[in-house]
Amino acid sequence: MPKNLVIVESPAKAKTIAKYLGKDYEVKSSFGHIRDLPKKGLSIDIEHGFKPDYQISPDKKRVVSELKSAAKNAEVWLASDEDREGEAIAWHLTQAMKLDPKNTKRIVFHEITKPAIEQAVKNPRTVDLKLVDSYQARRVLDRLVGYEISPVLWRKVRPGLSAGRVQSVAVRLIVEREREIQAFATTSSFKVTALFTIDNTELKAELPDKFSTLEATRAFIEAAQTATFAVAAIDQKPGTRNPSAPFTTSTLQQTAAQRLGFSVRQTMTLAQRLYEAGHITYMRTDSTIMSGLAINAAESYIKEVFGVSYHTRRQYQTKNENAQEAHEAIRPTDFRRTNLGSDAQEKKLYQLIWQRALASQMSPAQVEKTDVTIAVSNRSEQLIAKGEILKFDGFLKVYGGGKDDTILPPLSIGQTLNLASMTALETFSRPPARYSEAALVKRMEELGIGRPSTYASIISTIQTRGYVEKTSLEGAERQLRQLTLEHGAIQENNTSEITGADTNKLVPTPVAEVTTDFLLKYFPNIVDYDFTADTENKLDYIADGKEEWEKMIRLFYDGFHPLIDEANEASRKEVSQARLVGQDPKSGQPIYARFGRYGPVLQRGEVESEEKPDFAPLPEGEKIETVTLDQALSMFKLPRTVGATADGQQIKANIGRFGPYIQVGKTFVSIKPHDPMKITEDEARELYEAKLEKDRNRIIATFPSGIQILNGPYGPYISDGKKNARIAKETDPKNISEKDAKGLLAKAPSRPRRFRRRKSTS
């Protein structure tokens, strides 16, 4: 029996480490965290130092039992990742297995290689209880915020919403950016470019400043008709381009998105696999430092493969003074292995990491930059032509992205140039860009919000919670005015461009805007950028032993908890952000655009009046701030009678929570992408018949007891209306008897109880 038990957090990591340890070591996995706060209830004793009530997760009880059994006659070594989360996993293991954290051996390493593992075993430490305290402070703080604010959001905004110390700030960033875009006032200007010919070659130049009006632009173009152009100055100077530092977590996420099109979560999943396979160093890090061994290995490889001139030794300093996760940048564990990974995506990410880390130890690229100033005889403005030649590629040999050479023809000061054409094209100022996942990561890091290791889960959470949609926008065509001078004649015409198009950008939903406004009013600290960043600093102080976590939580909670009572006093009308659109000319009732329980709606009448108000959906594409009275009045014409079915049943068209639909009796049929105001009787009949045919095919068998065998989206199943039972793939559903169906239903798990909303008195 092995004398030593090594516990890691993942089976893949266990498999790799086991290869490097001898027969005296058994390596087992905890499969991540084994203890946590229960999903239901606060589980924090506020009156006694905010003591958390951790419990072994139901699905981990067997794992803990097996680990306890394996540890009976062995010395335990805890080898979870070296960050706060990894330290927490190690500590939870000591608590669940009744081990003394001050005596149990703890080993850490930045890469899963034989030398790193052997070095870790030679230098064990114990569980860092300061890091554990920092983890507990974060866990308790996030539970308090989520547990106390979320129910307020359920009552005041919409059921099922959640608030989070970091996620709510991320949503605020996206909401505010969208409002900046909506409020942006576009201005136009004219960019002038010129094309000169010199001995069968072309020279492109442009005015560095734009004209603000068409009249000023036209005056310049008209002057150019009779002007002479000459070289006024030539400025040549050498330039360099330096490589970037090796990847940190956030720069890897950003670059993988830009170069490979990977989502933040996808990047972290692939990096985790590469790390656990021993191919790269630990992928959750704020540091840009590389170890001396790695720098030496890179130097050897570069000199051998590319030559001495391509090598420049560097040690990048970490910009973030609070960097505390792992102590080294993300890099390959072996620079000589250039193509690693179990699939195409892993290989692409590995190559990106390899290139960036190796390039950081390579020489700068050498370029020669040339600026040519061109004088206009009858105007004070001057045109500029720019050229650049790559003299030595340096690090660009490995980590591309270098620009193509722009070579200028031979020129001399005073030389007259022949104008071939000149164009002035109208351009429009652009609003701030919407956040992509990579851009949001960059902004959060700049503000000190959260930690790079948490960004993937934050971005995923705000999408699954319905606050943000990752979407592509088509844009709209816009006309541009253009002036062209060619062969001595000026022409004015129009061209066009598509504006507002966006791909894979994060766009806030209406509920995000309402929730953000509510939190800003009643919980300003929670969504304050400085407060969120300052909290991260305090967590660092706790990790360094400079602050006690219970005191930090108490100080926060004493100021936070009274805000809950104040927020509970808010009326739903106030939260709904009702906007008066106008007055119904027939009834005289006011029409509001407001946020309802399930999204934006139109309301005709007052809630406080004796007569119940009417409600209608907003027209597609419109917002509470933009919908007009005419648009609102048309929506109150719904439901619209379209016609009748072949057997004489009335067909009505309407818009519901899930989009446009038609209704025949108790049957509802989605009509996307049809407009309920325009759908014809023939179109509605066709969709209705298709729905009936689908329903007929859905029923495979019906028994006297009421039990049915049905076709579902994931295959056939059995249902009695209360419980569903799966049917094995190899079983023909047509051959199942009523007795067999009852037996399968009896074995099937009960449906989970549905959330029942509490009535609100506000």
Round to whole Å and give the CA distance between 360 and 213: 47
- CB 388 within 8 Å of CB 406: yes
Which tokens sit at 199? Answer: 């001995």
DSSP state of 708: E
Q: Is 418 left (phi over 0), alpha (psi -120 to 50) or beta?
A: beta
Non-local CB neighbours of 687 within 8 Å, separated by 6+ positions: 662, 669, 671, 674
Of 147, 108, 151, nearest to 126 by C-alpha is: 108
Q: What are 188's two structure tokens?
A: 């136009």
Q: In sequence order, what DSSP letters do the residues of 356-389 get, joined into one string?
A: HHHHTTBPPEEEEEEEEEEEETT-S-EEEEEEEE
Q: How far apart are CA 570 and CA 101, in angstroms?
A: 48
Range 11-47 burial, b when 16+ CB lie within 10 A, else e: ebbbebbeebbeeebbbbbbeebbbbbeeeebbbeee
CA pair distance 703, 720, nearest whole angstrom: 10
Residue written as token pair 């295959």: 715
Cα separation, 468 vs 232, in Å, equals: 54
Is residue 522 annotated as a catalytic residue, yes or no? no
Q: Is the peptide bond before 639 cis (omega within 30 degrees of 0)?
A: yes
Q: Return the axis-axis angle of helices 437-447 and 529-543, rounded to nearest 10°.
A: 70
**Helix, strand or coil, per DSSP, at residue 399:** coil
Helix 129-156 crosses helix 549-568 at what angle (to 10 degrees)?
A: 0
Strand ranges across the sheet with 614-617: 579-583, 590-596, 599-604, 614-617
The residue among 618, 620, 622, 651 whose CA lies nearest residue 635 is: 618
Question: What distance in Å separates the CA atoms of residue 706 and residue 558, rounded to the nearest whole number?
Answer: 57
Burial of 550 (0-12, 13-18, 19+ CB in 10 A): middle
Distance CA 307, CA 298 (A): 12
Q: Is 291 exposed, middle or buried (0-12, 13-18, 19+ CB in 10 A)?
A: middle
- For residue 243, the SS3 value is coil
Give the separation between CA 731 and CA 716, rounded to whole angstroms: 10
Residues 297, 312: Cα–Cα separation, whole Å? 13
Report the amino acid identity of residue 623.
K
CA angle 534, 448, 531 (to 5 degrees): 30
Ranges assigned E (strand) in 377-449: 382-392, 416-428
The helix or strand, by DSSP H or E, that contains position 601, with its residue range, turns out to be strand 599-604
CA distance 257 to 252: 8
Distances (CA, A) of 678 to 190, 640, 652, 656, 674: 43, 10, 12, 16, 7
Q: Which two tokens stand for residue 11?
A: 């089976």
Which residues are within 8 A (CB) of 95 and not within 5 positions of it... i.e. 6 or more apart? 35, 54, 101
Q: Which of 7, 4, 72 is nearest to 33 (CA)?
A: 7
Catalytic residue among 275, 282, 522, 717: 282
Catalytic residues: 282
